Amino acid sequence: MKETFYQYIQELQDTITSKLEEVDGKAKFHQDLWKRPEGGGGRTRVIQNGNVFEKGGVNISAVHGALPKAMQAYFNVGDVDFFACGLSLVIHPKNPFVPTVHANWRYFEMYDKEGQIVDSWFGGGQDLTPYYLFEEDASHFHEVCKTACDKHNPKFYPEYKKKCDDYFHNAHRGEARGIGGLFFDYCKKSDDMTMQDWYDFVTEVGDSFLEAYVPIVERRKHLEYTQEHRNWQEIRRGRYVEFNLVHDKGTLFGLKTNGRIESILMSLPSHVQWVYDHHPEEGSEEAKLLEVLKNPKEWL
């Protein structure tokens, strides 16, 4: 399974980066290959200063070795070895009317000292972070997510949509990071699902990403905006940074397993503001977004 999934994410990285370069029309992804001293490595691709995308990364990695002590405590296991591979992407567009997007699809195995698999699971999802709320964009993103889920189980969309709302939540701010999407983790073999079933589901979601995001970018990328719009975008990006550095499990895992720091922190935008005690004007478009972030909606 690990070879099959690693092959899949390599091909998906190529598909996504090619399409995003086409959408941008100017910038190209810069590629870095890196190795992890303890085992494994990855292929980082970053785009910057384009017509459409201010900064973004589409990264794959496959790392393995002894599970570090800090992660043993996290997973509540003893002295075990691990293998983890995945694709992780974050795209920060220049235009404040185009939303930031994040997605991740991953596979994990744990082994005893004889090299036998003692546990394995899939995880992942995709979620949208707009700075100005266009309800038709939110509905489109969620519709694509639901369609991918429904091909496998009609219970998946409502369950993983709720998990996304719960996970991408800045508890210290009392607000969501964005308008959600899907989040699933610890997808293991069960009476209902084989690992092949989970592979088919996760790759279905991965294959749906461009359909979920690109039409929104095409719709909004030429809208005119002011410096005030950019200021709001940069203030909201600050909330994005707060989530990634305070709450995000993937960031924590990368830092605790001696991952490549540039690849882990590529999710952070180039230009951010933290303005003391900032509140948008009542009744404004900015205030409308905040209301939805404090009270997650059903978009379908």
Per-residue pLDDT reduced to its tens digit, 219-231: 999 999 999 999 9
- pLDDT for the residue numbered 129: 98
Closest CA to 31 of 20, 42, 41: 42
| Domain contains 199 | yes
**Cα 259 from Cα 41, distance rounded (Å):** 8
Q: What is the pTM of this model?
A: 0.95
**Cα 133 from Cα 243, distance rounded (Å):** 20
**Cα 254 from Cα 23, distance rounded (Å):** 30
- pLDDT for the residue numbered 74: 79
Q: Give one DSSP letter per residue of 126-139, joined into a string.
A: EEEE-SS--HHHHH
Query: Coil, helix or strand for 122?
Result: strand
Average pLDDT for runs of 10 along the chain of length 300: 98 98 98 94 96 98 89 84 96 98 97 91 98 98 98 98 97 96 96 97 98 98 98 97 92 83 90 96 97 95
Residues 6+ apart with CB under 8 A from 4: 199
- pLDDT for the residue numbered 284: 97
**Cα 138 from Cα 183, distance rounded (Å):** 16
| Domain contains 175 | yes
The CATH number of residue 187's host domain is 3.40.1500.10
- pLDDT for the residue numbered 61: 95
Structure tokens at 61: 């990695």
Closest CA to 130 of 298, 288, 16: 288
**Cα 200 from Cα 180, distance rounded (Å):** 22
Residues 6+ apart with CB under 8 A from 240: 100, 129, 177, 269
Strands 117-129 and 180-187: antiparallel
| Domain contains 235 | yes
**Cα 204 from Cα 198, distance rounded (Å):** 10
Task: Give how many domains the chain has, as a whole number.
Answer: 1
**Element spanning 290, H or E:** helix 285-294
Q: Give the angle 151-155-158 at the CA atoms, nearest 5°.
A: 105
Count CB atoms within 10 A of the CB of residue 79.
Answer: 10
The end-to-end CA distance of the chain, in Å, is 34
Closest CA to 271 of 103, 131, 127: 131
Dihedral sign for Cα atoms in the order 205, 240, 52, 41: negative
Is 172 annotated as catalytic? Answer: no
- pLDDT for the residue numbered 94: 98
Measured in degrees and rounded to the nearest 5, phi and psi for residue 256 equal -80, -20
Closest CA to 100 of 73, 139, 118, 127: 127
| Domain contains 300 | no
Encoded amino acid at 243, one letter: F
Closest CA to 24 of 4, 54, 3: 54
| Domain contains 289 | yes
Candidates 30, 64, 92, 102; catalytic one: 102
- Whole domain around residue 152: which residue ranges? 2-294
**Element spanning 8, H or E:** helix 2-24
| Domain contains 118 | yes
- pLDDT for the residue numbered 258: 79
